[in-house]
Amino acid sequence: MIYYKSDELLIRTMEEADDKAFYEAFTAQGWHPEQGNWLKRIQDEADGKCITLTAVYKGQPAGYVYVYRKANEGPFKEKGWPIIVDFNVLEKFQRKGIGSRLMDVAEKIAGEVADTVCLGVGVCDSYGSAQRMYIKRGYIPDGSGVWYQDKRCVQYETVCTVDDDLLLYLYKKLH
């Protein structure tokens, strides 16, 4: 399905070929992705759990995001709100408005399910751009502090690894 189209940018449902394209592109930028990761999300969509979105810039897969119908983790799991998961734009395609357009589409999809959407963002510096973008888009912290591997961190608790599982949860009213 096509969700957005302009001369340079297309946002569509993720396809199986995107798995290889993203694996190779993230490996080229020095990351260590798990091959098949994107196929799992495509299966989640086939199972009715989420909507997968791929941004294609000038014919090349440039980024992706998933909108799950309801949060199954963190402070929002009992609220029934949709959650935006694993937002990513390849470094070579950043600063072109691709991420903002992906988020526009993701929020529109979430707005069809509920009046509020949520997400978790990493707290280390590599997530700085995403943190700033979310705040500028109107997301606010829920006040529960940081979470690690789906458990709320307690003051003075030692969190051994600052990795992708150390998150701050945010939400946004859509209507």
Q: pLDDT tens for residues 8-59?
A: 999 999 999 999 999 999 999 999 888 889 999 999 999 999 999 999 999 9
Could you tell me the CA-to-CA distances from 78 to 71, 73, 168 in Å, in that order? 8, 9, 17
The answer to whether the beta carbons of residues 121 and 130 sit under 8 Å apart is: yes
**Banded model confidence at residue 96, pLDDT cuts 50, 70, 90:** very high
CA neighbor of 172 nearest in space, from 68, 89, 102, 83? 83
DSSP, collapsed to helix, strand or coil, labels residue 28 as: helix
Q: Does residue 66 surpass a pLDDT of 80?
A: yes
* Residue 126 C-alpha from the chain's centroid: 14
Q: For residue 39, which phi and psi values (nearest 5 degrees)?
A: -65, -35
Domain annotation for the chain: domains and CATH numbers:
2-173 (3.40.630.30)
Q: pTM for this structure?
A: 0.94
Amino acid identity of residue 125, one-letter, is: D
**Banded model confidence at residue 159, pLDDT cuts 50, 70, 90:** confident
The answer to whether the beta carbons of residues 105 and 11 sit under 8 Å apart is: yes
**Angle 21-32-109 from CA coordinates, rounded to 5°:** 55
Distance (Å, whole) CA 65 – CA 98 = 11
